[in-house]
Amino acid sequence: MNSTFRFLFLFSMWLLPQIAGAIEPPPQKPAIQWIVNDFPPFLVLSGEGMMVDISQAKGPFASIYQEIERALPGYSHRFVRVSFTRAEKLFSGQGGYCTVLLQKTKEREKFLIFGDELARAFPVGLVVHAKGTPGIRDDQKDVDLKELLATGKFRLGVIQSRAYTQQIDDILSHSGHATKIVGDSAMGNLFLMLEKKRVNGVLAYALEKTDYERNNIAVPALKFLNVKNMPNHISVWASCEKSLRGEQILKDLTRAVREKNVKGKIYKYFMQELPPDMKKSYRDLYDTPP
């Protein structure tokens, strides 16, 4: 009996580690924490919480994030809803934070590193009432923003945390006539201010204008003016915190983007989202060298 018990005891001592090894969870994947925020119609998030289910998000940027997630199966991907102003503090650490941005600026390069160009987009323009805007002719198609603001009679609405291109940012930095507002719903608030004529015009992307008009049928007629001396396109970039961890993530992402033609797939997503009258112009953007 004692020998049987001893055998069972020894056998169990041998067996337990084998079972434990068999059921041990697989090694945890390294994590990428993607900073996201509502940016309609480019990115429309569902739910209200801080953690975002990107599979439920809408818009071309949602497609970018979903494509990146598929291209990097070796990482776990967490999508965290944080305004970009607050996110700047997160990027200064080593938490594996990354994001997708429409602008690469000198200021952002202080705390972010950028990978390959993921897509292209039209630059912002000036949105005004179709008729009766001070300093703007009713038949006008483009505008010299510096000259317009220099008159001191045009009230411009902008989002404080947004980068508009180096050319426009330089103009705004020397102008005391821009109405700056902040907040997650800042663009909608700016359009409302324009509608009520509390500002004479707002800086916005063409898709933001068409999205606002689609969701606000009673809005007065608006028009989009190209800003003179602007590049014909801006680039969409993946970027990560300036750390060793961020560098490794971006290195893996850049390789995956090239190998899996992520840029080509994203181009198709953007084409699906654009109104018919913008498709040819958008196609032409890709004929321009980087």
Nearest CA to 228 among 282, 119, 149, 138?
A: 149
Domain with 196, as residue range(s), is 125-227
Strand, coil or helix: what is 219? coil
Residue type, 205: Y
Please tell me whether residues 130 and 223 are part of one structural domain: yes
Mean pLDDT, residues 278-289 taken together: 84
pLDDT, residue 74, reads: 95
Of 93-97, 110-114, 244-248, the one with minimum mean pLDDT is 93-97
> Is the pLDDT confidence value at 238 over 90?
yes
Q: Is residue 281 part of a domain?
A: yes
pLDDT, residue 186, reads: 77
The residue with tokens 């801006």 is: 234
Answer whether 75's CB lies under 8 Å from 68's CB: no
Last residue of a domain, one of 227, 251, 271: 227
Number of structural domains found in the chain: 2
Of 6-15, 152-161, 163-172, 270-279, the one with minimum mean pLDDT is 6-15
**C-alpha–C-alpha distance, residues 203 and 208, integer Å:** 10
pLDDT per residue over 49-72, tens digit each? Answer: 899 999 999 998 999 999 999 999
Q: Is residue 90 part of a domain?
A: yes
User: Which DSSP helix (H) or strand (E) runs through 159?
Assistant: strand 156-159
Please tell me whether residues 56 and 116 are part of one structural domain: yes
Q: How confident is the model at residue 137 (pLDDT cuts 50, 70, 90)?
A: very high
**C-alpha–C-alpha distance, residues 245 and 181, integer Å:** 34
> Is the pLDDT confidence value at 12 over 70?
no
Query: Residue 154 maps to which CATH number?
Result: 3.40.190.10
Name the DSSP letter for residue 55.
G
Residues 124, 126, 129, 135, Cα dihedral to 10°: -170
pLDDT, residue 73, reads: 95
> Is the pLDDT confidence value at 249 over 80?
yes
> Is the pLDDT confidence value at 27 over 90?
no
Please tell me whether residues 141 and 216 are part of one structural domain: yes
Q: How confident is the model at residue 96 (pLDDT cuts 50, 70, 90)?
A: very high
Tell me the H-state helices in the chain: 2-23, 60-71, 84-91, 145-150, 166-173, 186-195, 206-215, 244-259, 262-273, 276-285
Q: Is residue 43 part of a domain?
A: yes
